[in-house]
A and B are shown apart, each in its own frame.
Chain A
Amino acid sequence: MKRDFNILNYFNMRALFLGVGTAKILITAKEYFLISLLLGTLLGVGLLFLFRVELKNKIISTIVASILFIIAIILLIHMISTMYLTEMPKLLIGIPIVLLVLYIISKKEIVLYRVSTILVVINTILFALTFISLIRYVKWSNFSYTDTSFMKVLFAGVQYAIFSTVPTFITRDKEMSDYSLIKTYVISSFTMGVIFFLTFGILGPELINQYRYPEYIILKKVTFLETLANLENIISFVWVFDILMLLVSCANTIKKCINHNKITYLFLIGILIFVSFISKFYQSILYVYDYTLYILISVFLLLYLFNRKKNHKHLKKENPQA
């Protein structure tokens, strides 16, 4: 069981990188992105180790989970509206996503972990295929000198740590084992590092600035046997599954806090209607792009203030002395 928890967190750690994280980190850190990735991993491991959170204050947990839900669903709907279904109104795109989330949380909790086990395998296979077909397009001349200061590299590391660790605090529970969580974190950092490497190596420092979804653009180069080209719509399911699992974990937390099933469903449908009003304006994705980091930091502080886990070991040690 303990292993299963952390498979769900594997998706949570990678979900917010889709349009917002990758581009920001690569633009800030330019060719020193590997260093900022290492710094971010170390910082993230420290954050996971030191801050423990449990589900105490229900109102705060609901608010935090719904904020993350809104960010994630705006990202997903915007991505699908740009890539797959360009002419559909955004409310209609959001409906099957929310229906799927509602269907999954209406089952038992163990089902969630079984589904994520299978999706991890599918993700890894697709990822390995893309890596093999894209590695020959990496140009070493793209890793050339650009003018970046050390402060920017550090800032990119902090960004990486915040983006990847804050979603995991939503689903942390009492039965977590710390060491397997850190193992999962290191593996997900490794996969993100490979994605960064491929993106930067193929596009170069100038083009990264121009595209909103650079990790999607490089998928246009994948060809198999010179006939099957343009497979980017099939391979980008890797990110759809990531964000879906984050949505499901947030909805699960909301369901635990509000114990009533029907009120949870109505709440989530209400969030969908709210999001569909917002995403009519293109400025919404721009706000998410610019201010996500600060929203996540404030959410993290809120969680820590109200839901701090007290260490029972210290209390037990004091008692025999008295």
Chain B
Amino acid sequence: MNYLEKVKDDYQSMSDLVIKNVKKINIIYLESLSDQDKINDYILKFTNIHHIPKDITKLIPSPNVKEIQKYEDLKLFLEQGFTIILNKSQSIAIETKSNLTRAIESPNTEPTLYGAKESLNENFQTNLGLIKRRIKSPHLKNTSSIVGRFSKTMVSVLYIDNVADLDLVEKIKTRIDHIDIDGINDIGELKQFLCHDNKNVFPAFRITERPDMISKSLLEGKIIVMMDTSPYALIVPTFLADFINPVSDDYGKNININFLKILRFFCFFLSIIIPGLYIAIITFNQETIPTNLLLNFQMQRKGVPFPSIVECLITLISCEILRESDIRFPSKYGSAISILGGLVLGEAAVSAGIVSPIMIIIVALTFISSLIFTDLEIMNGIRYWRFFFLLLSCFFGLFGTGLAFVFLLTNLCSYEIYDKPYFFPIAPFDKNYLKDTLFKMHNNKRSKLLSKNRYRGDA
């Protein structure tokens, strides 16, 4: 029971450690993590009696009281914001955490017109509360584990008991338990450990901050990983079709939405193929263009000193620089920067004779179709394939574009995350999942790959 001495020893040079001695009991807490009002309400008010009983738990009206068995537990509780009460025979910990996070705000990376405007924040219990408001069932389970030697962050896995695939849950849990790292800051770092095939450029997991997206995925049979101090949640397993559609698609009419879904799917391939196709047609297979258009192109390219491929590379790279700087710069100066970028890439480059106007149109089309996706990871993945297509088209023309297309298909079809294929509703063709994501129709069944409980109905 020399906990007091040990605590004074270990936390020697901390200025926010407070040790209070009230009538032979010691109250220890860290001022930065604890809420003073709660300490007053739960503890200090009730110590004003004459005789303090042996079992202090009967005295304290706090809702969360835990007994301490070992010294490591005491350290853990102290660092989480609990107040430690040390008596001669007993040591207990009472929860008095202060609220150090921001309020619930509207989502800023996945905005929609219709739908709920709540987003997760850094507090784990708030996030869990937002999800449990949407799924009120005893089958929603969540486990927890601690990751990180210094950071000791809590990571939790959520799933619905009779819908999700329990083997997958076990695999994810064992993987999380095997993580050995100093500290973990955000859920993005957790991604690297959960996914074992890091060579593929496409993202393996989806990150979201909307609780309605999370509840929709849980009901389909997917598994959610959440972390304290991170306002995002991971969805496992993910397929390519999920990145293409936002959650607000469910809130509109099927017939109108299907047109947009097909458009988005084609935009994925369009933004990869267009620069390569343009180079192939202009330099190898000029017969595909109608005569008048070809004459226009020839006139526009007269003053440009570079070959087409160099022109294309210059424009693509400067667009990437522009986009990167747009994200980093604070938004108050942001509007002036984008005007500058537009001027530089547009008018000035054309009149200086560095690029031709048609190249600017092509690159603009490429970037506009890639901005349809909300996830930054997919845009980073598409970039590599765009350059690969450009390279093969520049050497082999239209034939090279076709071969590069088969390369892309093979790469997408061979990517598997926890044995679930990435190109899922299309390559191993599954009608039920297709009706949920890529072409919305009325659907009563869950897909075979995600859950063994096929029929919706039993809650």
Contacts and interface: CB of A to CB of B under 8 A. Distances in A.
- Touch between A and B in complex, CB under 8 Å? yes
Interface in A210-255: 227-231, 233-234, 237, 240-241, 244
Interface in A102-122: 103-104, 107-108, 111, 114-115, 117-119
A233 B366 CA distance: 23
Contacts of B428: 114
Interface residues of B, number: 25
A5 to B, nearest CB: 14
A138 interface: no
Interface string B393-415: 00011111011001101100110
Interface in B409-459: 409-410, 413-414, 421, 423, 426-429
A84 B393 CA distance: 12
B180 interface: no
B32 interface: no
Contacts, number: 66
Contacts of B398: 84, 233-234
Given A96-B396, A111-B410, A118-B409, A240 B402 contact: yes
Given A96-B403, A114-B423, A228 B429 contact: no
Given A228-B290, A233-B285, A100 B427 contact: no
Contacts of A115: 406, 409-410, 413, 427
B392 interface: yes
Contacts of B290: 227-229
A96 B388 CA distance: 13
Contacts of B414: 107-108, 111
A233 B396 CA distance: 13
Nearest to A227: B290
B448 to A, nearest CB: 14
Contacts of A96: 392, 396, 400, 403
B426 to A, nearest CB: 7
B89 interface: no
A230 B284 CA distance: 13
B186 to A, nearest CB: 33
B274 to A, nearest CB: 15
Contacts of A203: none
Interface of B: 284-285, 287-288, 290, 392, 396-400, 402-403, 406-407, 409-410, 413-414, 421, 423, 426-429
23 contacts: A80-B399, A84-B397, A84-B398, A85-B284, A85-B396, A85-B399, A96-B396, A96-B400, A96-B403, A100-B403, A103-B410, A114-B421, A115-B406, A115-B409, A115-B410, A118-B413, A118-B426, A228-B290, A229-B287, A234-B398, A237-B402, A240-B402, A244-B406
Interface of A: 80, 84-85, 93, 96-97, 100, 103-104, 107-108, 111, 114-115, 117-119, 227-231, 233-234, 237, 240-241, 244
For the complex of A and B, the 3 pairs showing the least CB-CB separation, nearest first, are A114-B427, A230-B287, A114-B413
